[in-house]
């Protein structure tokens, strides 16, 4: 794995976890699992079991870069985006820089805010995916579904790839389905949750980008060539604002999968992206010293230790911070993202 580099895109505000997650301190900087380590620190802890610390690269916004560096003092490769341009630009910039330094590099993209319970199983899946990527395929880790979730996109797997323990070709990526369709996917056994973890040779990724999105590739190539020179800031500031905004799923994964250029390694390692309070309630449970449940269940959090008592309310979500209080239910948890938008309309950006 000496030629393997990990890229951690650390962006987004985690609006479905408001008021815990805010624009200035998003969820990847929080210890949501009460393990004593924030989500990005947990991501770091997993990756250093696979590769050296100097092969880990973080891409984030200007506002978050100092906070990330504070939480990850051993981090030596951090790329501060002048403005958000979505995941393809973020991952592509790191790939362009890494490719300049090491033309034979293989890169893996791993989100900063995922939770993984079984690190050994995760490492084994990454190692197999890296071997698949060595052949020139773009590989992803497909999460074995725990049930018919409608919160995730799905990967449809095809035939096994010869020479590998579990890798399969990808037939296509599927957008978030309705419940009936999700049930069919899970029952069929050929669909996996798409967790957005991609492993590929840097030159293969950039080659696909040059072919499919030449304008974006040209800008990222210019930034990569200038990164280790005195012209870094000048080229970054002049080039970055004009880069097209597109996610890596739409830019690379979906079209390349339809061309037969992608593989998937199934993973069953206790993955979760803690996308909302319903997901967090499944991880955190109700056994907290600052919560009293009477004929109720759900999740209640007070970040200052205030006792929360919930009486006769099933599936409750109650979250209290110094300056805000959220009350909702599990089945409405996805709608929490509407709160920051409503606050912006009221010019209460101090709470966002």
How far, in Å, CA of 227 to CA of 271, rounded? 34
Contact present, 273 and 195 (Cβ < 8 Å): yes
> For 26-49, what is the mean pLDDT?
95
Helix pair angle (214-226, 232-239), 10° resolution = 160
Q: What is the pLDDT of residues 160-177, one digit of tens each?
A: 999 999 999 999 999 999
- Provide the 8-state DSSP code for 192: E
How far, in Å, CA of 55 to CA of 108, rounded? 11
| Residue 125 scores a pLDDT above 80 | yes
3-state secondary structure 126-154: HHHHHHHHHCCCEEEEEECCCCCCCCCCE
pLDDT at 283: 80
Q: How far apart are the first and last CA of the chain?
A: 41
How far, in Å, CA of 185 to CA of 187, rounded? 6
What does the angle CA 345 – CA 348 – CA 349 come to, to the nearest 5 degrees? 95
pLDDT at 303: 87
- Provide the 8-state DSSP code for 163: T
How far, in Å, CA of 89 to CA of 108, rounded? 15
pTM for this predicted structure: 0.92
Q: Would you place residue 290 in the very low, low, confident or very high pLDDT band (cuts 50, 70, 90)?
A: confident
Q: What is the pLDDT of residues 192-246, one digit of tens each?
A: 999 999 999 999 999 999 999 999 999 999 999 999 999 999 999 999 999 999 9
pLDDT at 37: 96
């Amino acid at each position: 794995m000496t030629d393997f580099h990990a890229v951690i895109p650390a962006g987004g505000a985690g609006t479905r976890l408001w008021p815990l997650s805010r624009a200035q301190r998003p969820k990847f900087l929080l210890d949501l699992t009460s393990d004593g380590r924030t989500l990005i620190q947990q991501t770091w802890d997993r990756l250093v079991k696979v590769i050296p610390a100097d092969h880990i690269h973080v891409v984030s916004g200007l506002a978050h870069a100092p906070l990330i560096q504070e939480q990850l003092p051993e981090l030596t490769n951090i790329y501060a985006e002048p403005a958000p341009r979505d995941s393809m630009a973020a991952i592509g910039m790191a790939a362009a820089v890494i490719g300049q330094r090491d033309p034979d590099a293989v890169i893996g993209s791993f989100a900063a805010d995922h939770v993984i319970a079984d690190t050994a199983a995760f490492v084994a899946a990454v190692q197999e995916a890296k071997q698949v990527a060595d052949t020139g395929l773009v590989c992803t880790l497909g999460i074995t579904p725990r049930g018919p979730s409608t919160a995730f996109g799905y990967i449809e797997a095809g035939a096994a790839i010869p020479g590998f323990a579990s890798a399969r070709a990808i037939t296509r990526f599927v957008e978030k389905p309705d419940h009936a369709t999700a049930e069919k996917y899970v029952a069929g056994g050929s669909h996996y949750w798409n967790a957005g973890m991609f492993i590929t040779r840097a030159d293969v990724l950039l080659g696909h980008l040059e072919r499919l999105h030449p304008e974006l590739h040209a800008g990222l190539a210019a930034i990569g060539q200038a990164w280790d020179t005195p012209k870094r800031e000048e080229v970054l500031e002049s080039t970055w604002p004009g880069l097209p905004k597109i996610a890596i799923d739409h830019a690379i994964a979906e079209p390349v999968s339809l061309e037969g250029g992608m593989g998937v390694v199934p993973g069953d390692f206790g993955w979760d992206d803690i996308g909302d309070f319903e997901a967090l309630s499944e991880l955190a449970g109700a056994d907290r010293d600052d919560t009293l449940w009477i004929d109720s269940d759900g999740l209640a959090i007070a970040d200052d230790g205030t006792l929360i008592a919930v009486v006769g309310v099933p599936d409750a979500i109650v979250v209290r911070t110094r300056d805000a209080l959220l009350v909702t239910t599990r089945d409405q948890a996805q709608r929490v993202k509407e709160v920051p938008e409503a606050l912006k309309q009221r010019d209460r950006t101090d709470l966002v």
